[in-house]
Amino acid sequence: MRKTKLIIKTKSKKYPIIIGPNVIGDINNILKFSKTYFEKALIIYDTKVPKKKLFILKKKINSNKTIVHSFKASEKNKNFKSINSILNKLFKFNFNRNDCIISLGGGITGDVSGFAASIYKRGIKFINIPTTLLAQVDSSIGGKTGVNNKYGKNLIGSFMQPDLVVSDINNLKSLPKREIICGYGEILKHSIINGYGTFNYLKKNFHKIIKLKSPFIEKAILDSCKIKKKIVEKDEKEKDLRKILNLGHSFAHAYEASLSYSKKLNHGEAVILGIKSATKFSFQNNIINKKDYNQIINHINNLNINTDLNNYFRKKDINILIKYMKSDKKNNSTKINLILIKSVGKILIKMKFNELKIRKFFARELIY
Ligand code: GLY
């Protein structure tokens, strides 16, 4: 695959996403061509990323005013404490609006770094270098930033588009298989949103995609980015259309929060479980046709991760699941909004249900 450039044009900002092998090694040229200038840079570095990548990035940026801030990325550390320690570093080194935060890590690092960039002195420059599949196909695109708190996931945050995204697909080679499946969850979500063409491509080639075989992984990444680009360009601030990107997420966020963000279920896995729940819920409520239902469920069952809710929850957990589903950002005070599937390529965003209906769904799914 050669280097590919996608331009995201939203109302608030136009910025490039550069995707390709070894693009971190080419960062100097990318900064030049994208006219991304800054004086000082704070690299927020996820300690899970191989150190070599950090050294290359630092060397190629070629600035003696580059400071590194190590961040142990986890849902538990995606909080105000981490934001404060980043802000303190920015103050300590006297960063101003011509300076820049660079995130080098997965989705959590990107969300935390982007949020810090959006509030420090009302906003400084932000470059996102996503190193996981999930971050490359989803969270680095579209400007959502934020942190978790005890009430739920991503409930505090902002929309701030980055100035530049650099997705180095060579990074994927160092990821554990579990991380690749997580990213695949968002690729699958985008394909169900987009239609049969993309979905059937995944069904046919998913073994090769998750083994990172060329050209299948590259096509899956590019298609996913293009689908997300189309949506966020039309609705940057999630007033309407962008809600379709939350397919499976109301369930997923409740699953993660109810398990206190334990390593037992990470975000991408929760999204796959969430898509499965949304598909089943759609079927039980006569929304999706049997053929599409079977195709989605069979595909998820083939993914070789445990997507049976009984592996994670018991009937006694229904109250807490409902509590977190109610605190989802999309809800008003009385009903729970779910993003559901009519068919592959046709997603419904306005469906609202009372909690009893959702309680019944969980009661049916959970055996014990
Ligand atoms: N991950 C959903 C969105 O960016 O809107």
Do residue 228 and residue 323 come from a single domain?
Answer: yes
pLDDT band at 332 (very low <50, low <70, confident <90, very high): low
Question: Residue 231 CA: which ligand 1 atom is closest?
Answer: 5
> Domain limits at 37?
4-174
What is the distance between the alpha carbons of residues 360 and 366, in angstroms, rounded to a whole number?
A: 10
Question: With 70 as the cut, is the pLDDT of residue 202 above it?
Answer: yes
Residues 314-336: what's their mean pLDDT?
Answer: 87
Q: According to the model, what pLDDT value does residue 185 have?
A: 96
What are the C-alpha distances in Å from 339 to residues 281, 289, 346, 356?
10, 16, 11, 17
The preferred substitution site among 228, 237, 267, 339 for testing ligand 1, maximizing ligand atoms within 8 Å of CB, is: 228
Give the count of beta carbons closer than 10 Å to the beta carbon of residue 364: 11
- CATH number assigned to the domain comprising residue 154: 3.40.50.1970
Distance, in Å, from the CA atom of 66 to the CA atom of 16, rounded to the nearest integer, reads 22
- Structural domain count of the chain: 2
Q: Is 243 in the pocket of ligand 1 (CB under 6 A)?
A: no
Same structural domain, 310 and 186: yes
142 CB near ligand 1 (under 6 Å): yes
Counting beta carbons within 10 angstroms of the beta carbon of residue 84, is it exposed (0 to 12), middle (13 to 18) or buried (19 or more)? exposed
| pLDDT value of position 1 | 73
Identify the sign of the CA torsion 308, 312, 318, 323. negative
> Taking 90 as the threshold, does the pLDDT of residue 328 lie above it?
no
**Is 186 near ligand 1, meaning CB less than 6 Å away?**
no
Are both 162 and 22 inside the same structural domain?
Answer: yes
Q: 245 CB under 6 A from ligand 1?
A: yes
Average pLDDT of the residues of the chain: 95
> Do both 226 and 280 map to the same domain?
yes
Cβ(268) – ligand 1 distance below 6 Å: no
Read off the CATH number of the domain in which 248 is found: 1.20.1090.10
Do 243 and 230 lie in a common domain? Answer: yes
Residue 276 to residues 246, 289, 311, Cα–Cα distance (Å): 13, 15, 14
Specify whether 140 is located in the same domain as 183: no
| Cα–Cα distance measured from residue 225 to residue 144, given in angstroms and rounded to the nearest whole number | 15
Q: Each residue of 206-216: pLDDT tens digit?
A: 999 999 999 99
Residue identified by tokens 């039980």 is 284
Which protein residue's CA is at the shortest distance from atom 5 of ligand 1? 245
Ligand 1 neighbour 190 (Cβ under 6 A):
no
State in Å: Cα 139 to ligand 1 middle: 6
pTM here?
Answer: 0.95
Query: CB within 8 A of 229, min separation 6: which ones?
Result: 6, 8, 17, 141
How many A from CA of 160 to the centre of ligand 1? 13
Q: Determine whether the shortest distance from the Cβ of 138 to ligand 1 is under 6 A.
A: yes
Q: Could you tell me the distance, in angstroms and rounded to a whole number, from the CA of residue 5 to the centre of ligand 1?
A: 20
Last residue of a domain, one of 174, 198, 217: 174
The whole-number pLDDT of residue 166 equals 97
For 101, the token pair is 């935060």
Q: Whose CA is nearest to atom 3 of ligand 1?
A: 245
Same domain, 165 and 184: no
Cβ of residue 267 lying under 6 Å from some atom of ligand 1: no
Point out the ligand 1 atom lying closest to the alpha carbon of residue 138: 1
| Residue 333: predicted pLDDT | 63
